[in-house]
Amino acid sequence: MSRRNSQSLPALLTRMNLLVSGIALLIATFAFFSYDLLSFRNNLIRNLQAEAQIVGANSISALTFNDPASAENTLMSLQRSTDILSAVLTGGDGTNFAAFGEPGQGEREIHRLAAGETDHVWSTGTHVLVAHRIVFQGRPLGTVYISARLTEILPRARQYLLIAGVILLFCMAAAVAISHRSRRLIAEPVIALANTALLISRERNYSIRANIDSDSTEIAILVDAFNTMLAQIGERDAALNRVRDELEIRVEERTAELKTANQELEAFSYTVAHDLRSPLDAIHSIAYLLKQASPNVDEPDIPLLLAQLTASTAKMGSLIDDLLNFARASTVTLKLVPLDLTAIVDEIATQLKLSDPSRQIEFNVAATPEAQVDAGLIRIVLDNLVRNAWKYTSHHQKACIEFGAVQSTAEGRHPGKIVYFVRDDGAGFDPELVEKLFQPFQRLHSQSEFPGTGIGLATVQRILARQGGSIWAEGSIDKGATFYFTVN
C-alpha cells in the first residue's frame, strides 16, 4: 500500500512541482549570488584603487621634498579601513619611502608595475594587492602598494544565503500550494477515472460509466472517450457471450451425439464379441469331437482340415477375448484398491513357464510399491505387457524379462511419479514406428513371424488413460523393448 501511495499521481505532481521549482530557484539563486558577490568584490577593489589614488595624490609633496614623515602620516589615514593589511610608498628608484602595517617586501617584488603601466590589481581569493604609480608633471615620483583582505565578502555571502534560504522556503510553500490546486484540477479526476477502470476490471461490468466533473477540457474529452470505449466493449462482450452460448449449446449437442454413438458402438462391439463366443465354442467343440473320431475315417485330409479348423477357432477366440477386453476398458466401472503389482507379475510369469517348460527364459521381477488401481483392469495391462515380452523373445534360445519400478526425476516425463516398466531382450521394434504400437489393429511384425490380434497395447493404453496414467515405449530392432507406464 505504501508503495502505491508513493507512486500515486498527486504525489508525483507534488514532487515534480517541488523539483522543478527547487531547481529553478537554486539556479536563479546561484546566478544572483555569483553576480552579487562578484559585483561587491569589484566595488571593494575599486574602493581600494581609489584609496591608492588619494594616497598617491597626497604624497606628491612628501616625495618631492623628501619628507618620509609626512608620507607616513598620509599612509596612516588608511587605518580607518579594517580590510587594509599594509601599505607601502616607494620612491622613483623602487626603494621603500614610507610604510604602514607590515609591508610585504617579497610580495611587492613579485608584483611590480610594468613599464608605462599606471594601475594594476593582483588578487587571490579574498586577498588583493593594488598598485598605483604616482605621476607629477609627466614624471613618475613613486608607487603606492596597498595589500588588503576582503573580509566583508563572507558576511555579505552569509547574509545573501540567509535571504535566499528564506525565499526558497517561501517558494517551496507556494509550490506545495500550487500542487494542491493542480491535484484538485488534474490528479483527482484522473484518480477517479482510474478507480472506475479498476472497478470495471474487477467486476467485469461494462455498464458502469465514469461521471467526473472537471474544468479541464482535455480530461472531459478523456472521460467521454473512456465511456465510449466501455460502450463498445460492452457491445462486443455481449456479442461474444451470445456466440459463446451458441457454441456451448452446439458442443453439448455434438458431445451428447458423439457419446451416444460411442456407447452404441462399444455396446455393439461388446454384444458382437460376446454373442460370437457361444457359436465359436460350439464349433470348437464339434471340431474336437470330429478330431477324436477322425482316426476311424479313411480320408487322409480330414485330420489336417480339423487341425486348421481348431487353430482358426482358437485365433478367433483370442480376437474375441481381446475385443471384449478393449470394450471393458471403456465401460467397466473403476474400483480402485491398493494392489501389489509384483505379485500379479509373478503369477503371470509362473503361468507362462508352465505353458512352455522347454523355454530357457529368466524372469527378474523386483519388489515395487503398491499402486491404487482397478484389480481386473490392471491384470489385463500386466498380462498383455508380460505376454508380449514372452512372445517377442520366443525366437531367442535364451531370454530375460524384467519388471520393476523407478522414481521419476524432476527432468523426467512424469516428475515425482512412480514409473513401472516391463523390459525384454527380444525382437524389439523400429523406433520411428513407435506411435503405431498403441493403435488398434496396427502390427509391426507379420502374423507368420509373431501371431497376435494387434489390439492388446491399444487396450493397455485405454485402461491406463482411464485411471489417469500413461504408457510409452523405447526399443530398437533385435535389441529388445522396454514399456514404461504410470497408473495415475
The confidence score (pLDDT) of residue 44 equals: 81
Cell numbers found for residue 140: 613618475
Cell numbers found for residue 359: 523355454
Domain locations along the chain: 2-157, 206-331, 332-486
Place of cell 573580509: 151
Residues 6+ apart with CB under 8 A from 390: 352, 361, 401
End-to-end Cα spacing for the chain: 44
Q: Check pLDDT > 90 for residue 231.
A: no
Same fold, 2-157 and 332-486: no
The confidence score (pLDDT) of residue 323 equals: 61
The confidence score (pLDDT) of residue 295 equals: 57
Cα 52 to Cα 48: distance, rounded to the nearest angstrom: 6
pLDDT in tens, 358-391: 999 999 999 999 999 988 889 989 998 999 999 9
Sign of the Cα pseudo-torsion (308, 310, 314, 317, in order): positive
DSSP 168-231: HHHHHHHHHHHHHHHIIIIIHHHHHHHHHHHHHHHHT-TT-------S-HHHHHHHHHHHHHHH
Q: Check pLDDT > 50 for residue 256.
A: yes
Are 193 and 210 in contact by the 8 Å Cβ rule? The answer is yes
Cα 168 to Cα 21: distance, rounded to the nearest angstrom: 9
Backbone angles phi, psi at 126, to 5 degrees: -95, 0
Cα 488 to Cα 485: distance, rounded to the nearest angstrom: 9
Task: Give the number of other Cβ atoms within 10 Å of residue 449's Cβ.
Answer: 12
Q: Check pLDDT > 80 for residue 304.
A: no
pTM of the model: 0.43
Average the pLDDT over 336-349 and give the result: 94
Average the pLDDT over 337-345 and give the result: 94
pLDDT in tens, 175-229: 777 766 666 666 667 777 777 777 777 777 767 777 766 656 666 777 777 778 8
Cα 133 to Cα 145: distance, rounded to the nearest angstrom: 9
Q: Check pLDDT > 60 for residue 455.
A: yes
The confidence score (pLDDT) of residue 425 equals: 93
Average the pLDDT over 385-406 and give the result: 92
Are 453 and 384 in contact by the 8 Å Cβ rule? The answer is no
Q: What CATH number should be reported for the domain whose range is 332-486?
A: 3.30.565.10
pLDDT in tens, 73-126: 888 888 787 788 888 888 887 788 888 876 554 455 557 787 778 888 888 877
Sign of the Cα pseudo-torsion (48, 49, 51, 56, in order): positive
Average pLDDT, the chain: 79
Highest mean pLDDT pick, 267-276, 282-291, 420-429:
420-429
Answer yes or no: CATH 3.40.50.620 is held by domain 2-157.
no
Average the pLDDT over 8-32 and give the result: 75
Percent of the chain's residues with pLDDT above 70:
74
Percent of the chain's residues with pLDDT above 90:
17
